[in-house]
Structure 1
Amino acid sequence: MTDRTGRRNGAAWGVAGWGAGVLVLLAGLPAAASGRLPDRLATHWSAGSDRPDGSLPLWAAALLPALVWTVLTAVVALTVRRGGARGIPPWAAATLGSGGAALVGAQVSVVRANLDRTDWHEAGSVTWWAVGTLVVTGVGAAVPLLAGRRKPAVPRSATDGPAMVVPAGQRFVWLSRTSNPWLQATSAVTGLLALAAVVGALAGLTDRTSGAVAAAVLTLSCVVILCCSSVQARVSERGLEVAFGPFGWPRRRWAPDGIESARAEIRTPAQVGGWGYRLSGLGTTVMLRGGECLVVRSRNGREFAVSVDDAERGAALLNAMDAP
């Protein structure tokens, strides 16, 4: 599997996980709280009023937002597919992010307003929840659009062979990326579980303290797994830079004078103890797929390896920096 295919599959799995998670929350939240809800739920409040003026049966309040979400995701998916995009365009991610946040926020507001009421006319206000939903919706739209503005540097080949001689003063760049779709999918699932913990606590279905602790642990796990799910290695006249995660952070850098040698080496997950950021007898390895790895040995004798394609070329460039 090529890196481009892996990134495409990882994005597809992430979108599928987000779509399924939002769908489960929209349909499942009213069902989970059905024992504490009236037969009809207040679903509409006039602008400037804290009293509800519209309602729906419990089953309709659960299925209608789910249907809207299903139609929205289908339209976005078909549009992206017909446009022939190689990945998930920023506008599609923004649409799904903000749309999911808006629908889940609205559903949480409705359930919480109707919770422990005997009649929908007694439902509480949703004003502040609506404001919070608008803020989260804006963030859900802005983050993918801002992330999409980051343009990856275009690598330029210095030579076609592994033994390279770089003329003095000539600039060069070698760039290679690798991603693991399974780790990306695991991060997405963990993130959805964190969202479910937050939603349950906000809707009053779980204790707020326990919900906050669970959400914090799951969110931290989601971020750590996401940072270990993709990596980019860059070799230039400044040395080696390895960036983690979809936003290129955190990063590790080695200056040319800090690298003793570089080589390409075949490594497997079994050799280094699994997937992700691993510490073993071989040193530190960023293992996203078994096979060719770029291995650098620093002046202090420590080794760092990262599983990227075309590692031999990257190693040759690093070695060329110390060549006479």
Structure 2
Amino acid sequence: MKRFVLPILALLALALPTLSLAEDAPKIKLGYAKCAHCTPMSLTPQFAEGVTIDAVGFNTGTDALTALVSKNIDVAQVTYLHYAIALDKGFDVVAISGQVNGGSAILLGNDLEIAPGDWGALKALIAKYKADGKPFRVAASRGNAQDIHMRGAFAKQGIDINKDVQFINIPNPSDHLQALRRGEVELICTVEPFATQIMQAKAAKFFGFPYDQAAGKLTNLILTRSDVIASNPKALEGVVRAVVKVDAHIAADKPALIEVISKVTGLDKAIATGAVENLDPDPKMYRASALAIATMMRDLKYINSDVSAAVEKNLDYRFLEAATGKPKTELGY
């Protein structure tokens, strides 16, 4: 009997230190939104080293931000726009990494005879609706990146979203498809993979990407709070390392990105396959563009104060520097 017991005990003795190390690893609760470019955050636990990540999905980035500032989670994947909004409201948020950019698309109702990218024709149609006393209804999920991308692109084209069109807020992007099918809006700026879902369902047609504005195609940003930085800096370094690894993984392996989009959103892989063409994995944080976004948001009266100083001050590059081995000057600073 001893012949069998002793080897088993020896194996257990070898395993126990490993189990103890896993139990002792610092823990981070991370929230992410369920959009195409957000879903890779669900992979961070399997790419984490030296930290245990509990990744929780939220319907929107706004929900994730709310959980962060109310201290229900430690890290949130949101957007550059949420970052500026949070600072405008006086919340304690610190940006520690980028993640994936892009993911926005402007779609038109099928009955509108306008060619993709023809802003002149779109402006003329909006003017006609206004002259006829009819509202030209445009929609987005207020507060997300696509909303600001659309507002900035409209302003660049001389379209006043407060006077020339009627804005419709549809909080959950998964509801955009039905709003178009019911004819409730003429135009919508939505997020992947729902943009591809809408086009594949032939509920609307593609007009263009809303990237001709100060935000460009910048979208996702990883935020934490100063108390988490003070109490758990090594764990945050582990989180950022995981984000960098996930970005490298999905950039090199599109099928892996398609798989995670389909798994988290529950949408067909054909939809996820179309969505990935509008996504750009990138963990850098772009300081100059972040400042331009904050200025644009104030000009659009989306925020009330000049948060430029706070935007720059609260970009903390130390975790990205540790994760990549590069100086911040090579990481978007």
TM-score range relative to shorter protein = under 0.3
TM-score, length-scaled by structure 1? 0.24
TM-score, length-scaled by structure 2? 0.24
Greater C-alpha Rg: 1
> More relative contact order in 1 or in 2 (CA 8 Å, sep 6+)?
2
